[in-house]
Amino acid sequence: MTKSTTNIEHAVTVRNVHKNYGDVQALENMSLDFPRGQLTSLLGPSGCGKTTLLKIIAGLLPATSGEIIVNGTPVTGPGPDRAFVFQDFALLPWASVLRNVAFGLELRGVAKSEREAIAEKYIANVGLAGFENSFPHELSGGMRQRVGLARALSVDAQVLLMDEPFSAVDEQTRRKFQEDLLGLVKNENKTFIFVTHSIEEAVYVSDQIAILLPRPSRVSEIIKPSGFRHKSADHIRRDPEYLDIVDNIWASLRSYVE
Amino acid sequence: MRHRSLFLTLLSATIVFGAWEIAGRVPVSFAFPTFLESMAAFWVLIVEGTLFTAYAETLKPLVVGVTISAFLGIGLGLWIGLSEKIDWLISPIFVVMQTAPLAALIPLLVMAYGIGLTSKVFVVCIMAMPVIVLNTSGAVRNTPASLKEMGHAFLGSRSDIILKIILPAASPVIFAGLRLGISAGFIGAILSELKITPTGVGDIITFSRSIADYPTMYAAIMSIILLAVLFLNVLERIEIFLFGGNNKGYVSE
Ligand SMILES: Nc1ncnc2c1ncn2[C@@H]1O[C@H](COP(=O)(O)OP(=O)(O)OP(=O)(O)O)[C@@H](O)[C@H]1O
Ligand SMILES: [Mg+2]
């Protein structure tokens, strides 16, 4: 009974995960729950193990010990229930935007016409309509990042793992993306795990923020901004709760920067 | 664009052949014919059909050797590039092959395989294969890790990842290796005809030199270069056909 309720509540559960790279201890006894249908941010200093945790959840890296449970099943490798947005985009330089976005479906054996129709829809969704036949080297960094995002969306996985998906865009575009992301969370009914360096971004887009300590990384604090989620995009950034949370997080992270 | 590159090709050919003609007229050496004399001899070789019967011989070890080197070389290179153990086991053989003095190995080959086609094919392979294997394995090993990881994350099977990610990513360097390997194979084919038994084009070269018919000797050498250039052009077509736009540069930081 308890087990099934946790399954419904949490799309992903990280339980006592340790990760060592040789002598380097990247994660130490990390435990964290990711509520279904919500966006959880991982926030922490550079090198603290955010990408490592995301790749362990994706099944791309084995944990040294501990377990990851996705929809009630322990993770042993990559699966159709998770899709990854890579920090360095990982686009095929020789393939058009259309083929890149459809590549996840191509690897799943979806027929060409079907996967291209799906890909076209998501290309339009991320605002790249008209660039279907362009090649990655013809796109700006932000556009490449959107190609990576469209590829992850088009395989329709329940859990989206996003590694700093907005790092390569300017501030204006970034704000636009953040608003779009809130729309995605609302409409797509997926669970988002989102890595970022930006405190403001984390507070703005997240239902839950996990603050990680520097290596060996553990969760130091979990914050659940809730008061301003229903407000309109413009009002959030002026909301007192929003500003308070940003200040508090900065206060607790500042000691590690100094 | 096309016209300009054709123009440049013609220009550089004119300069090279002009310099040859002048050097032949000076003369640099009495054994160095002019360009026009060589072309005349070339014409005679064609009209008399000597060149074609010669190539019927020379092409045998060349085509067999180059085909074996290409397929086996890329296959081995792939295998080496994908597995560190195999790399450790096999790579040194090709490094040695690439640096071994071939002329010193030929007597050994003749002792083992006689003076027939087998030995000549071996010479072509020894010349052509190492660079194909080493280029392929290096390119495979250098496939960006993030691309392989992406393939894995999106549930690609091992063969998907090899065929759709590793091979296309490695193809420019593999084809560079093929170009170098095939050029070396041409040298190997002629070398084997000069050092093992004079047949085919090697025979024309040896014979015309022995009777001091230098224009014919140079015409034969020219014909090899011509054929090699033709071959490399065909290879380029194949590369474009197979991997169209793979030279798009790499976009990841
Ligand atoms: N393949 C590896 N081998 C050895 N050490 C590694 C490897 N990958 C990561 N590390 C180490 O593990 C730690 C965590 O790395 P990770 O990439 O997860 O950090 P991160 O939080 O994503 O950093 P950033 O915010 O800069 O992207 C780093 O200190 C890094 O040095
Ligand atoms: Mg990272």
Distance A47 CA to ligand 1 centre (A): 5
Task: Please provide the size of chain B in residues.
Answer: 253
Residues A70 and A114 in one domain: no
How many Å lie between the alpha carbon of A124 and the closest alpha carbon of chain B?
21
Number of structural domains, chain A? Answer: 2
- Please tell me whether residues A138 and A179 are part of one structural domain: no
pLDDT band at A235, cuts 50/70/90?
confident
pLDDT digits (tens, 9 = 90+) for A88-100: 899 999 999 999 9
**Which residues make up the environment of ion ligand 2, defined by Cβ < 5 Å?**
A 51
Domain termination residue (choose one: A97, A128, A156) = A156
Query: Is pLDDT of A3 > 60?
Result: no
Do A103 and A169 share a domain, yes or no? no
Q: pTM for this structure?
A: 0.84
A4 lies in the same domain as A76: yes
* Nearest chain B Cα distance for residue A2, angstroms: 31
Q: Any idea what DSSP says for residue A217?
A: B
- Band of residue A4 on the pLDDT scale cut at 50, 70, 90: very low
This model of the complex carries an ipTM of 0.88
Question: What are the distances in angstroms from CA A183 to CA A39, B3, B120?
Answer: 11, 53, 70
In our burial notation (b when 16+ CB lie closer than 10 A, e otherwise), range A101-116 reads: bbbbbbbeebeeeebb
Specify which of A211-220, B106-115, B160-169 reaches the highest per-range mean pLDDT. B160-169
- Is the pLDDT at A6 greater than 60? The verdict is no
Contacts with B246 from chain A: Cβ below 8 Å:
93-94
> A148-201, pLDDT tens digit by residue?
999 999 999 999 999 998 887 788 888 888 888 888 888 888 999 999 988 889
pLDDT number for residue A168: 77
Question: B60 or A226: which carries more pLDDT confidence?
Answer: B60
The answer to whether residues A73 and A171 belong to one domain is: yes
Same domain, A164 and A213: yes
Distance CA A85, CA A148 (A): 6
pLDDT reported for residue A8: 65
Q: Which domain holds residue A118?
A: 88-156
Please tell me whether residues A152 and A33 are part of one structural domain: no
Nearest CA of chain B to the CA of A85: how many Å? 9
Residue B192: pLDDT over 60: yes
CA angle B32, B33, B34 (to 5 degrees): 125
Residue B188 belongs to a domain: yes
Q: Does A186 touch chain B (CB under 8 A)?
A: no
Proximal ligand: closest to the CA of A55: 1
Report the pLDDT value the prediction gives residue A2, as an integer from 0 to 100. Answer: 42
Q: Is residue A75 domain-shared with residue A170, that is, in the same domain?
A: yes
Q: Find, among B148, B163, B149, B156, the residue nearest to B78 by Cα.
A: B163
Task: State the CATH number of the domain containing residue A11.
Answer: 3.40.50.300
- Between the CA of B160 and the centroid of ligand 2 the distance, in Å, is 27
- As a whole number, mean pLDDT of residues B230-240 equals 89
pLDDT, one tens digit per residue, over A54-89 is: 999 999 999 999 999 999 899 999 999 999 999 889
Average confidence score pLDDT of chain B: 88
For residue B195, being part of any structural domain is answered with yes
Confidence of residue A5 (pLDDT cuts 50, 70, 90): very low
Q: Is residue A49 part of a domain?
A: yes
| A165 three-state secondary structure | coil
pLDDT-derived band of residue A258, with 50, 70 and 90 as boundaries? low
Least distant ligand from the CA of A214: 1
CA geometry: angle at B102 spanning B199 and B77, to 5°? 105
CA distances B97 to A35, B132, B133, B192, Å, are 60, 12, 11, 16
Q: How many domains does chain B have?
A: 1
* Rounded Cα–Cα distance for residues A164 and A178 (Å): 12
Q: Using CA atoms, how far apart are residues B197 and A164, in angstroms rounded to an integer? A: 67
Say if CB A203 and CB A249 are below 8 A apart: yes
What pairing do the DSSP bridges indicate for beta strands A39-43 and A208-212?
A: parallel
Closest residue in chain A to residue B168, using alpha carbons only: A94
| Confidence bin at A120 (pLDDT 50/70/90) | very high
| Half-sphere exposure in the Cβ direction for B104 (13 Å, CA) | 4
Confidence of residue B147 (pLDDT cuts 50, 70, 90): very high
Let me know if residue A252 belongs to a domain.
Answer: no
Same domain for A64 and A177: yes
- Domain contains A218: yes
pLDDT of amino acid A192: 95
Same-domain check for residues A1 and A77: yes
Q: Is residue A238 part of a domain?
A: no
CATH number of domain containing B70:
1.10.3720.10
* H-assigned helices in chain B: 2-25, 35-47, 50-82, 84-99, 102-113, 117-141, 145-153, 158-160, 167-195, 200-210, 214-243
Closest residue to atom 14 of ligand 1, CA basis? A49
Model confidence band, residue B1 (pLDDT cutoffs 50, 70, 90):
low
Specify the pLDDT at position A117.
96
Give the domain extent around B42: 34-242
Kindly report the average pLDDT of chain A as a whole number.
88
Stronger pLDDT, A33 or A255, i.e. the higher one: A33
Tell whether A250 is covered by a domain. Answer: no
Instruction: Classify residue B175: in a domain, yes or no.
Output: yes
